[in-house]
Structure 1
Amino acid sequence: MYVRRIVPNVQSEALEESSEFYSLLGFEEVMNLGWIMTLASTDNPAVQVSLMTSDKTAPVVPDMSIEVEDVDAAYATVRKRGMEIVHPLTDEEWGVRRFFVRDPNGLVVNVLSHS
């Protein structure tokens, strides 16, 4: 399975202050939907961190996001293995198809593909 990127998600009620902090480390805002803000390295745009107040459609803020080439294949694989699906496979209005799964450590992973 081809992984495109991995992004840590930080739950935060201080998006602007966090953005200012990470800008000191070479990050700039590349997406802001109000409830989620993604910052990327100015030198390497694939290096990212997302700050989230909450998740717009899911019951929890995921601990990390993993973008894969084929989210449907990933979903089929984790369901076949009987892993806990925290948020079902969903087409979101902001242009991603995603689901959340709990890893063996209890972390919630947002697995997604862009539409």
Structure 2
Amino acid sequence: MSVRRVMPVIQSNAVEESREFYELLGFEEVMDHGWIVTFASPSTPAAQISFMTSDKTAPVTPDVSVEVDDVDAAYAAVRDSGAEIVHDLRDEDWGVRRFFVRDPNGRVINVLSHR
């Protein structure tokens, strides 16, 4: 299993203001689902940041997203370790397979792969 990207997720009700601010820093909007908006660097597309009002299908808003090449392997490893699964592995309507796990610092990590 390998990591493809790591992206901070900031819970926010100031999405429009964030859009304006991060565009000043050179980011471009690459995704907007209404409840989550993601911005990326045009020159380094894996450099991303997301702003989320609240998660559409999960009980909590994650702090970080980690995209991996094999989310099923990641889920098995995390589950077998005894870590707290916050949101069980599932396929989402917007094209990702994901789960949430709580890290040793209490942060909620959204682990995903694109389908």
Shared fold (TM-score, shorter chain, > 0.5): yes
TM bracket (short chain): over 0.9
Residue 9 (1) aligns with residue 9 (2): yes
Residue 20 (1) aligns with residue 29 (2): no
For the residues of structure 2 that align with 1:112 and 1:56, how far apart are their CA atoms?
A: 15
The DSSP-based 3-state class of the residue aligned with 1:73 is helix
Unaligned residue ranges in structure 2 (runs of 5+): none
Aligned-pair CA distance for 1:45:
1.0
Residue matched to 1:45:
45
For the residues of structure 2 that align with 1:43 and 1:67, how far apart are their CA atoms?
A: 19
For the residues of structure 2 that align with 1:43 and 1:21, how far apart are their CA atoms?
A: 18
For the residues of structure 2 that align with 1:78 and 1:46, how far apart are their CA atoms?
A: 24
The DSSP-based 3-state class of the residue aligned with 2:9 is strand
Residue 104 (1) aligns with residue 100 (2): no
The DSSP-based 3-state class of the residue aligned with 2:76 is helix
Taking structure 2 as the reference length, the TM-score comes to 0.98
Unaligned residue ranges in structure 1 (runs of 5+): none
Residue 72 (1) aligns with residue 72 (2): yes
The DSSP-based 3-state class of the residue aligned with 1:88 is strand
- Provide the identity percentage: 71
Matched letter for residue 104 of structure 2:
P
Q: How many residues align?
A: 115
For the residues of structure 2 that align with 1:50 and 1:15, how far apart are their CA atoms?
A: 9
Poorly superposed stretches of 4+, deviation over 4 Å: none
For the residues of structure 2 that align with 1:28 and 1:10, how far apart are their CA atoms?
A: 17
Greater Cα shift, 37-46 or 90-99: 37-46
Query: Per-residue CA shift, 1:15-62, capped at 9, x if unaligned?
Result: 111010001111010000000000001221110000000000001110
Taking structure 1 as the reference length, the TM-score comes to 0.98
Matched letter for residue 68 of structure 1:
V
Residue matched to 1:90:
90
